[in-house]
Amino acid sequence: MKYTAINFKDKLSKFNDHWAPRVIAELNNYQVKLAKVQGEFVWHDHPDTDEVFIVIDGVLDIEFRDGRVRLETGEMFVVPKGVEHKPVAENECQILLVEPGGTLNTGDTGSILTADNDVWI
Amino acid sequence: MKYTAINFKDKLSKFNDHWAPRVIAELNNYQVKLAKVQGEFVWHDHPDTDEVFIVIDGVLDIEFRDGRVRLETGEMFVVPKGVEHKPVAENECQILLVEPGGTLNTGDTGSILTADNDVWI
């Protein structure tokens, strides 16, 4: 099969760790990533790029210094570049990210939660 | 509310025409678009960019000169730049597109199906 669909549920079944995005596709120099998240992430920002969050299944809160947004299944938000944010999920949540290749999950904030980059699944 | 979720179903309820993408968000110089499609689109390509198709609800076939891919709900495909393709949906299908701002739905192929660009909803 030269042309094969990328199935989100199939890809999500292949890993279980949290806050460790897996690349599933590239769009020019951008990447589409899937992640499972649960609990509180770290405050960080991405100085050079906006970041798309799409909730595939679950509920994701994105906290900002001056507010927050709750994303449920079938909802999205674009975090503007340079804006500090902290994703939080009370229960496990499956998300899709779109951002330039090379974007670290913790931005410039070195952290134990910094995941390996460019891991394909 | 400074921070507001973008809800796909809510946005999709606001229009009914086919093959006319609506912009719902921007990511740097890229745009996220929603479209309702049904029937056969025209053969075209995008010489300068890849194009992400994500099926929100329904079934979308993307035909290529040497094959095809069927995308069902929760599946995606990236059409590489310069590759001729023709989207086809037997029944109405709701899709999410990610591509650089300014990308025309019919590529360089002028057509009665060429939609207005940069229409936000």
Provide the residue ranges of all domains of chain A, joining segments of one domain with +.
14-100
Contact present, A95 and A75 (Cβ < 8 Å): no
How far, rounded to the nearest angstrom, does the alpha carbon of residue A121 sit from its chain's CA centroid? 15
pLDDT value at position A110?
A: 75
Is the domain defined by B21-100 classed in CATH 3.30.420.40?
no
ipTM above 0.90, yes or no: yes
Average pLDDT of every residue of chain B: 95
A94 pLDDT more than 70: yes
- In percent, the amount of chain B with pLDDT more than 90 equals 85
- What average pLDDT score do residues A8-16 get? 98
What is the reported pLDDT for B1? 52
What is the average pLDDT across A81-90? 97
Q: How confident is the model at residue A1 (pLDDT cuts 50, 70, 90)?
A: low
Mean pLDDT of B62-91: 98
Cβ pair A70:B99 closer than 8 A: no
For A29, other C-beta atoms within 10 Å of its C-beta total 9
Give the pLDDT confidence score for residue B113 in this predicted structure.
Answer: 87
Residues of chain B found within 8 Å of residue A62, distances taken between Cβ atoms: 3
Kindly report which listed range (A71-75, A108-112, B6-10, B77-81) carries the lowest average pLDDT score.
Answer: A108-112
Q: Is the pLDDT of residue B69 over 60?
A: yes
Kindly indicate whether the domain formed by A14-100 is annotated with CATH number 2.60.120.10. yes
State the amino acid at position B82 in one-letter form. Answer: G
CA dihedral B114, A53, A93, A3 (to 10 degrees): 40
Does the predicted TM-score (pTM) go above 0.90? yes
Over residues A5-11, the mean pLDDT reads 98
Q: In angstroms, rounded to a whole number, what is the distance separating the alpha carbons of residues A83 and B51? A: 27
Per-residue pLDDT, averaged over B1-10, amounts to 91
Contacts (Cβ under 8 Å, ≥6 apart) of B53: B60, B62, B71, B76, B77, B78, B79, B87, B95, B96, B97
User: Is the pLDDT score of B75 beyond 70?
Assistant: yes
Under an 8 Å CB criterion, which residues of A touch B? 1-9, 24-28, 30, 32, 49-52, 56, 62, 64, 66-72, 74-78, 81, 98-100
Closest CA to B6 of A80, A78, A92: A78
CA distance A118 to chain B (A): 17
